[in-house]
Structure 1
Amino acid sequence: MTQGTSSNLIFHRVLALVLTGIIAGVGAMLLALLLHAIQHLAFGYSMDEVVGTESFLQGVTDASAQRRFAVIVGAGLVAGCGWWLLARFGKPRVSISAVVKDPGKPMPFFTTLIHALLQIITVALGSPLGREVAPREIGALTAGVVARRLGLSREDSRTLLACGAGAGLAAVYNVPLAGALFTLEVLLVSFRWESVLAAMITSAIAAWVATFGLGNESQYHFVAGEVTHSLVLWALVAGPMLGGAAWGFRKLTTGVRCKVRTNWQMPVYSLLAFTLLAGLSLFFPQLPGNGKGPMQLALNNGLGLALAATLLVLKLMVILAVLRAGAEGGLLTPGLTVGALLSMLLYMAWQTVLPGGDSSSFVLVGGASFLAASMQMPLTAVVLIMEFTRMNHDYFVPVMVCVCGAYFTCKALERKD
């Protein structure tokens, strides 16, 4: 290879990374702004600003019972009819993992775009699933276009596609380091220095670009308490328990998704599932949405034993119901919330044995551990929680202890299954 050819190749690689970071950041920003706009319009709050100070939970709580019920039932109609029609008339979808494995089979442009928009619309209207898959899909989709335009090799295309997906995650949640780690740990399963640099460049650019429309706020407000010996011992004991629960969560969510049929059942089941959610929301406004509201309540010590236990059961119920109906979305924030609610219960039981520490610290440690095990991404989960909450480094000891116990327990149970 001549020096000129080598320089040209390097230039194309760098250009591809920069373009992917910019496009992924813009795409994630636009999806997030669309989400907020639909939420405000549907539930009638913060009508004069797209990114407001009023939370989704507060907006849902303040909405009238009739409006809340109608909006969430409407989400069921959009989900059921939208994904049924997409499956019937659209091209077969190609997942992010599949296209990273084989860049020669690209993601269909319009099918992927509509799939992402359906996720954003339904989550905005109250779906209990997460919004993070949509920007990851858009990031990977546009990275594929860039790779083909610049004529990158198969291996370079694989790296760029994974970086695009990680950059979408980084941008939508303002978590550049977690986005890069997700690329390396989950998608590429590689920490080669070339991959590390590529992931860091794209995620950093995407997260920075998105701040122009979304601001530079952390996702959760967390006031650090003292890291007590009780918290560290609890992390040691609770880790395997949370790992067992995460294993069960993985089995349940995978099982119901396998039962989805893209026929007349999808609109019917979707309407039934979202009607169930709409009815429950009249008594528990914390249930609609991806779970950010209940998670923040748990961090603020705003949940008692009875409410935490009730929300845990009902949250699991509605997540499984909408997944069985065929609705699509992520399980990152829902999984974090389920883990936080379960950790709240374990914390209350632990206080009868060895008192000490504030509940928000236990919730943070336990939620991170459940997320790490349920998503099978321990490093990404730890950094994600760090960037979500801006927690200080004192928490790394209990978090790592609990994450290791949960992750390895879940892995061991899956091997036996």
Structure 2
Amino acid sequence: MNVHAPVESESDERSLVILAVLALLVGGVAGVVGALFRLALQQADRLRDLVVVWAQGRALLGFLIVVLLCALAALVARWMVRRFSPHASGSGIPHVEAVLRGEAPPAPFILLPVKFVGGCLAIGAGLALGREGPSVQMGAVIGHLTGGAFRRSWADCRALLAAGAGAGLATAFNAPMAGAVFVLEELVQKFEQRIALAALAASSTAIAVAHLLLGDSPDFLLPPLDYPPPVIGPLFFIMGAAMGFFGVLYNRFLLATLSAFERLRLPGEAKAALTGAAVGALAWFSPRLVGGGDGLTLAALAGWQDIFILPFVLSLRFGLGGASYAAGAPGGLFAPMLALGAQAGLFFGVAFGLLLPGVDIQPQAFAVVGMTAFFTGVVRAPLTGIVLVTEMTGGVTMLLPMLAACFTAMLAPTLLGSAPIYESLRDRLAPATSKN
């Protein structure tokens, strides 16, 4: 662990002011990096779609080209991780949490280009990974390096690291309050005044800078939703409990997939290439089903209601998410989780509408609430989930149903003794790192 000593003793007030100023700086830099990462991912997704459209007109040759390109992109992403920065594997959030707890050393500067380029390659290849994990970890590295450059104490470096991570999440989803809440609820799991101040400062400047590059519209524009009538209130409790069990299943499947990939006697690059090839084959047949899942989330929030297709899409994305994460390339879990939650919530909304034809049910409302409930069941961070989805959709009419669903989504896995996903991944971090 790198410990930085201040140049001279400082008063608490002066130290706090310096921390606040540095947090504003960290947020601005993290906002630029996060916004550029989002723009690069948008271009990578467009390029993949263009290649698939071109290849679909060339029969078997086109199919092979798409499969080989996706396999190569995943392979290079995994090679960059192994060769230059093992900490860049996967989401990066478990590593950030381990650093904040003093269980792992901070990542060096090299993680930034590896996470940026590797994330573009992996997510651009169509792996079901999210942009938020790389953004959070890159923001954390920026925060720690800034603290070190200004010779701050470890306490200040830790606060800046956490603040940079929150700024990364804020930029990834255009959700500044969610970034700050995420720092306190998930990363440090307690209220620390200096970290709270730094997180708010960093998230505010990150979003201010990101808006200049990305615009200020919410990520998901919803059709107008009515306040749900009281008669359907119990349905949100029921769906929340189901989402809690679904979250337990998701966590166990993800961990089992990671273990299965570790048992494969193949180099890491070969595993990533095989995963990329499988994703490429799927992309050739159905481009909408690959990638982070934003398109699927938008479709669910718009009320796409084929109840016979939804279970198939859910199952496929469920398996694809586990395999993509186990490949070891840079990429997060949030965006795929939100897509699964929206689809599952829409399924519940359509099913409830068919079972209760006399009740006014908007399936899209269940899609919105499903995002928060499934996130809560997996991560066990309900406040982050509620604030995140509210900011991403720009609507507050679902706040009460979200609270109800998150209550039972939190209760079910807690009673089952299932650990939150990032706690489980953090426990695996040391042995996984030693193998790279």
TM range (shorter): 0.7 to 0.9
2:133–2:331 CA contact under 8 A, matched in 1: yes
Q: 66, 69, 76: which one pairs with 1:74?
A: 69
1:134 paired residue number: 134
Judge which range, 268-277 or 232-241, deviates more: 268-277
2:29–2:206 CA contact under 8 A, matched in 1: yes
Give 1:64 deviation, angstroms.
4.7
Give 1:326 deviation, angstroms.
2.9
Q: CA 1:85 to 1:219, structure 2 compared with 1: closer, same or farther past 3 Å?
A: closer
In 1, Cα distance between the equivalents of 2:54 and 2:308? 24
1:412 paired residue number: 415
1:17 paired residue number: 23
Q: 299, 302, 307: which one pairs with 2:301?
A: 299
In 2, Cα distance between the equivalents of 1:295 and 1:409? 24
Aligned length: 399
Match of 1:337, as an amino acid? A
Give 1:91 deviation, angstroms.
4.9
Structure 2 residue 92 is matched with structure 1 residue 90: no
Q: CA 1:98 to 1:116, structure 2 compared with 1: closer, same or farther past 3 Å?
A: farther
Cα displacement string for residues 393-412 of structure 1 (whole angstroms, at most 9, x for unaligned residues): x3111110001100121222
In 1, Cα distance between the equivalents of 2:278 and 2:402? 36
Cα displacement string for residues 300-327 of structure 1 (whole angstroms, at most 9, x for unaligned residues): 1124112211111111122222233333
Q: 259, 265, 279: which one pairs with 2:281?
A: 279
Q: CA 1:63 to 1:153, structure 2 compared with 1: closer, same or farther past 3 Å?
A: same
Match of 1:33, as an amino acid? L
1:372–1:381 CA contact under 8 A, matched in 2: yes
2:151 paired residue number: 151
Q: 285, 290, 293: which one pairs with 2:292?
A: 290
1:43–1:68 CA contact under 8 A, matched in 2: no
Cα displacement string for residues 41-95 of structure 1 (whole angstroms, at most 9, x for unaligned residues): 34339xxxxxxxxxxxxxx7x56526687446423322224324532x3354282
SS of equivalent residue, structure 1 residue 306: coil
In 1, Cα distance between the equivalents of 2:281 and 2:411? 38
Q: What 5-or-longer segments of structure 2 have no aligned partner?
A: 1-7, 89-94, 421-436
2:81–2:87 CA contact under 8 A, matched in 1: no
2:371 paired residue number: 367
Structure 2 residue 349 is matched with structure 1 residue 347: yes
Q: CA 1:356 to 1:36, structure 2 compared with 1: closer, same or farther past 3 Å?
A: same
Q: CA 1:338 to 1:7, structure 2 compared with 1: closer, same or farther past 3 Å?
A: closer
Q: 400, 404, 407: which one pairs with 1:401?
A: 404
Structure 2 residue 362 is matched with structure 1 residue 358: yes
In 2, Cα distance between the equivalents of 1:69 and 1:228? 52
Q: CA 1:373 to 1:13, structure 2 compared with 1: closer, same or farther past 3 Å?
A: same
Judge which range, 217-226 or 373-382, deviates more: 217-226
2:71–2:280 CA contact under 8 A, matched in 1: no
Cα displacement string for residues 244-264 of structure 1 (whole angstroms, at most 9, x for unaligned residues): 011110111122223444974
SS of equivalent residue, structure 1 residue 44: helix
In 2, Cα distance between the equivalents of 1:107 and 1:193? 25
Cα displacement string for residues 102-122 of structure 1 (whole angstroms, at most 9, x for unaligned residues): 298221221453134211222
Q: CA 1:129 to 1:253, structure 2 compared with 1: closer, same or farther past 3 Å?
A: same
In 1, Cα distance between the equivalents of 2:40 and 2:368? 29
1:169–1:179 CA contact under 8 A, matched in 2: yes
Judge which range, 97-106 or 160-169, deviates more: 97-106
1:273–1:318 CA contact under 8 A, matched in 2: no
Give 1:137 deviation, angstroms.
1.2
- Taking structure 1 as the reference length, the TM-score comes to 0.88
Judge which range, 107-116 or 405-414, deviates more: 107-116
Following TM superposition, where does structure 1 have runs of at least 4 consecutive aligned residues deviating by more than 6 angstroms? none
2:37 paired residue number: 31
Identical-pair percentage: 25
Give 1:138 deviation, angstroms.
1.1
In 1, Cα distance between the equivalents of 2:70 and 2:314? 22
Q: 310, 313, 316: which one pairs with 1:311?
A: 313
In 1, Cα distance between the equivalents of 2:104 and 2:125? 36
1:69–1:282 CA contact under 8 A, matched in 2: no
1:244 paired residue number: 245
In 1, Cα distance between the equivalents of 2:211 and 2:64? 33
**CA RMSD across the alignment:** 2.6
Judge which range, 228-237 or 145-154, deviates more: 228-237
1:135–1:165 CA contact under 8 A, matched in 2: yes
Judge which range, 18-27 or 110-119, deviates more: 110-119
Q: CA 1:268 to 1:398, structure 2 compared with 1: closer, same or farther past 3 Å?
A: same
Q: CA 1:352 to 1:92, structure 2 compared with 1: closer, same or farther past 3 Å?
A: closer
In 2, Cα distance between the equivalents of 1:301 and 1:280? 24
Judge which range, 104-113 or 233-242, deviates more: 104-113
- Taking structure 2 as the reference length, the TM-score comes to 0.84
Q: CA 1:157 to 1:399, structure 2 compared with 1: closer, same or farther past 3 Å?
A: same
Structure 2 residue 215 is matched with structure 1 residue 215: yes
Judge which range, 93-102 or 26-35, deviates more: 93-102
SS of equivalent residue, structure 1 residue 130: coil
Match of 1:407, as an amino acid? M
Give 1:190 deviation, angstroms.
1.8
Give 1:274 deviation, angstroms.
2.5
Q: CA 1:271 to 1:105, structure 2 compared with 1: closer, same or farther past 3 Å?
A: closer
Cα displacement string for residues 271-321 of structure 1 (whole angstroms, at most 9, x for unaligned residues): 332322222333432211111111111111124112211111111122222
In 1, Cα distance between the equivalents of 2:284 and 2:9? 68
Q: What 5-or-longer segments of structure 1 have no aligned partner?
A: 46-59
SS of equivalent residue, structure 1 residue 202: helix
In 2, Cα distance between the equivalents of 1:78 and 1:3? 50
Match of 1:268, as an amino acid? A
Match of 2:368, as an amino acid? L
